[in-house]
Structure formats: C-alpha cells, structure tokens
Amino acid sequence: QVQLVESGGGSVQAGGSLRLSCIGSGYTYNRSCMAWFRQAPGKEREEVGGIDSSGTRLYAASVKGRFTISRDNAKNTLTLQMNNLIPEDTATYYCAALSVRSLCYNPIRPPNEYNYWGQGTQVTVSS
C-alpha cells in the first residue's frame, strides 16, 4: 500500500519561513519523481516544484529563489523549505509521487501524471 505522509505547515507572517516534509512508502522511492503542489481556494492545483530520480530540481517561477526542494532517498523523505513567504503562498500543499518501472525524469508535469498523493497540509501567510 502506497502512502505519502506530510508534516509541517501552519501559520506564519509574511517574510517568515516554514518547512514541509513528506515520507513515502510502498513504492520504489529512489526511482520516482517527487513534487510539491499547492491549491488555493477557487484556484487550480499548481506545481510548486519537483525533483526527479537524478536529483534535478525545477521550480515554478513564482517560488524560484525562495523555495528549496530536497530528497533523502535513504529515508524516503521529501522536504520543501519555504523562505520569505508572502500571502500569495497561502494554500493547501500536497506531496506527490510519480512511480514508474524505470527511472523517472522531468519532475514538472501536470497533476494527473502523478499517481500518488499525500493528504495535504495547510500553509497560511498573513500580511
């Protein structure tokens, strides 16, 4: 059974930092693409950024330079370090995994290509 369990999140003032973590199990973690998505009320789910099996990291333009994604294959853990947060970052954040038989490359994909999802964690940034 595949599970993605997220932790972290919460409320912070603009300019602050938060760290999200996601632990995956039940699939071949080190071959997968991993990503963070977010969804604000009334908006579509968007990819914040991702990291593929080679360690290549890509980010949305809106968070580049402020957010950092990393993965620890030994611990099946994905993290999202968010710095200099702004109110527009307020959303529910989701961890996602694309597990394929071969190595996964290119972590920037539409949501429907990711086959496993976490339950979501809320991030609220106040001005």
Tell me: the pLDDT tens digits for 83-127?
999 999 999 999 999 998 899 999 999 999 999 999 999 999 999
Q: Which amino acid is at 14?
A: A
| Predicted pLDDT at 48 | 97
Q: How far apart are CA 56 and CA 13, in angstroms?
A: 30
C-alpha pair distances (Å), 79 with each of 13, 36, 94, 96, 101: 21, 9, 11, 12, 23
* Residues 27, 101 contacting (CB under 8 angstroms): no
| Predicted pLDDT at 37 | 98
Could you tell me the two tokens for 2? 């595949």
| Predicted pLDDT at 101 | 86
Strands, DSSP E only, in the chain? 3-8, 10-13, 18-25, 33-39, 46-51, 57-59, 67-72, 77-82, 91-98, 116-117, 121-126
Residue 82 has pLDDT above 90, yes or no: yes
Q: What is the pLDDT of residues 44-74, one digit of tens each?
A: 999 999 999 999 999 999 999 999 999 999 9
C-alpha pair distances (Å), 78 with each of 13, 14, 39, 86, 126: 24, 24, 19, 22, 26
Average pLDDT over residues 71-80: 96
Q: What is the pLDDT of residues 21-52, one digit of tens each?
A: 999 998 888 899 999 999 999 999 999 999 99
Residue 5 has pLDDT above 90, yes or no: yes
* Residues 116, 2 contacting (CB under 8 angstroms): yes
| Predicted pLDDT at 65 | 97
